[in-house]
Amino acid sequence: MTMAEAGATAKAMGKRIQLGVGILGRVARTGESALVQNAGEGSLLGILPESRAVLCIPITYGESLLGVLNVESQSENAFSSQDVLIMNTLADLLATALHNAFVFQKLQQQSITDGLTGVKTRRFFWEGLSSEWKRASRSGRPFSVVLMDLDKFKEVNDTLGHLEGDLVLARVGRLLEQKCRQSNVVARYGGDEFVILMPETGVDQAQILAERLRLWVAGDPMLAEHHITGSFGVASFPVHGFSSEDIIRVADAGMYVSKHAGGNRVSTAEEFGEGESFAVQRQLISGYIEGFLQREHTGPEHLEELVTTLQKLGGRDDDTYNVHVLKESIEALNRAAELRELHAANHGELVARYAELIGRALGLPPEELADLVFAARVHDVGKIFVPERILNKSGSLTEDEFYLVKMHARVGCEIVATIPDSETLQKAVEHHHEALDGSGYPAVSAGKRFR
């Protein structure tokens, strides 16, 4: 190949040919081979005007045209009968290879795509979630999950039949795919449940997108005709947990909150209305305990304590009892967290004693004193989700490791938020590392706000 021909090849890359235009375009339209050996100056041939000889062979498999094999030369009479035979053989081999590739791609796509809705399968979602969790755990960057359950979908199936229900599901799938970002993974999670994985997305951004999706679903004419809306739950790493299972569990609890509030709503797990059932709180704190038991190996006495506490969360219809059990559960989690950290044994109890002495000296009312002591006792409960290797690292922490450590205050706040009417406790736990000069975390605020 001459340098001129090499340059011509580079110019041909990425060039578009209209169907039916030029020799290549005509072969693509008719499916018949073409050979031109001697073209005049300016003749309309293949890809490049300087070509003097062109050989075009269709790549076909059965009745399907898969492509065109196009060879050009700047020399006249460049192709012999042997060349034509070789190129035809090559076209046949390419046809088989392309057909197999298309079939494999189709089968692969079918295996990861829900046939009814067109979104990804639950299995594909979990694989994506696992990969995203590994990436986020290394980098300390956030990701979010949104779970959605269709409201009143059962009524559509019961009154209009499953065929109409399938049309509703397909419409929701198309809507979610159209409205979500390309970087998001949209999947069918269950019968009428959908899930969205959002890389590099914090809880605030995820809530905004979920709210937009809620409005789009509620405002779609076809869905509105069937009174279909969506109940959404949002959870983010690392604010709501430090494992994939934690994030799903908390998103599911948020979805439960939306359902319990009447549907057509976006909720995070900490959003509880006054007088709501304790089922959501129990589900959340159970999730924290179960997640810890699955990930960690604790001493026998702490394992037994956590299991016993988990059993109590079956609960009974007694608000005072339920609040007591929720607090007891958080204290059990805090003790388990202390056991993981060297030199932290009984740290919460010691802080609680000092807090009680100060509170009594200040003359705090009994209720405020009790809140102060409880908050002091469990202020580090969020460390339950900080990796043990980071908690006990002897050297300096990396920037990403310190980010995870700083998040323990916010995670602790989320855990305490499972207790109804606990705003004071939440603030105490979330801000126990703040400083008046702004050097603390996680809010990095200074001044009168924390006085």
Domain harbouring 31, CATH code = 3.30.450.40
Instruction: List, edge to edge, every strand of the sheet that includes 185-188.
Output: 185-188, 193-199, 143-151, 229-237, 265-268
pLDDT beyond 50 at 220: yes
Of 120-134, 202-216, 285-299, which range is least confident? 285-299
On whether the CB atoms of residues 305 and 335 are closer than 8 A, the answer is yes
Closest CA to 266 of 319, 210, 343: 210
Residue 281 lies in a domain: no
Domain match, 75 and 130 both: no
pLDDT beyond 70 at 310: no
Residue 277 lies in a domain: no
Of 67-76, 359-368, 371-380, which range is least confident? 67-76
> What average pLDDT does the chain have?
80
Residue labelled with tokens 């700083």? 406
pLDDT beyond 80 at 296: no
**Tokens linked to 377:** 């006792």
pLDDT band per the 50, 70, 90 thresholds, residue 151: very high
In one letter, which amino acid is 122? Answer: R
In one letter, which amino acid is 63? Answer: E
pLDDT of 406 reads 83
Domain match, 307 and 411 both: yes
pLDDT of 275 reads 43
Q: What SS3 state is found at 58?
A: strand
Domain that holds residue 323: 286-451
Residue 276 lies in a domain: no
Domain final residue, candidates 112, 146, 169 = 112
Quick one: average pLDDT of 389-417?
81
CB-count burial class (<10 Å; 0-12, 13-18, 19+) for 162: exposed
pLDDT of 353 reads 93
Q: How far is CA 171 from the centre of its chain?
A: 21
pLDDT of 416 reads 85
Residue 280 lies in a domain: no
**Tokens linked to 131:** 């990969």
pLDDT of 300 reads 45
Domain match, 126 and 50 both: no
Domain match, 231 and 127 both: yes
On whether the CB atoms of residues 84 and 53 are closer than 8 A, the answer is no
Quick one: average pLDDT of 329-333?
83
pLDDT of 357 reads 94
Domain harbouring 394, CATH code = 1.10.3210.10
Domain final residue, candidates 247, 271, 295 = 271
On whether the CB atoms of residues 403 and 140 are closer than 8 A, the answer is yes
pLDDT of 163 reads 93
Domain match, 233 and 139 both: yes
Residue 232 lies in a domain: yes
More confident residue, 317 or 370: 370
pLDDT of 160 reads 93
Residues forming beta bridges with residue 307, ordered by sequence position: none
Residue 426 lies in a domain: yes
| Tens-digit pLDDT profile for residues 416-435 | 877 878 889 989 998 988 88
**Tokens linked to 311:** 């059993």
Domain final residue, candidates 240, 271, 302 = 271
More confident residue, 87 or 288: 87
Residue 374 lies in a domain: yes
Query: How many separate domains does the chain show?
Result: 3
Domain match, 267 and 314 both: no
Domain match, 297 and 427 both: yes
Domain match, 108 and 235 both: no
Domain match, 151 and 44 both: no
pLDDT of 3 reads 36
pLDDT beyond 60 at 198: yes
Domain match, 33 and 126 both: no
pLDDT beyond 80 at 210: yes
| Tens-digit pLDDT profile for residues 437-446 | 777 887 655 5
Domain harbouring 263, CATH code = 3.30.70.270
Residue 19 lies in a domain: yes
More confident residue, 146 or 37: 146
Domain match, 172 and 247 both: yes
Domain match, 86 and 220 both: no
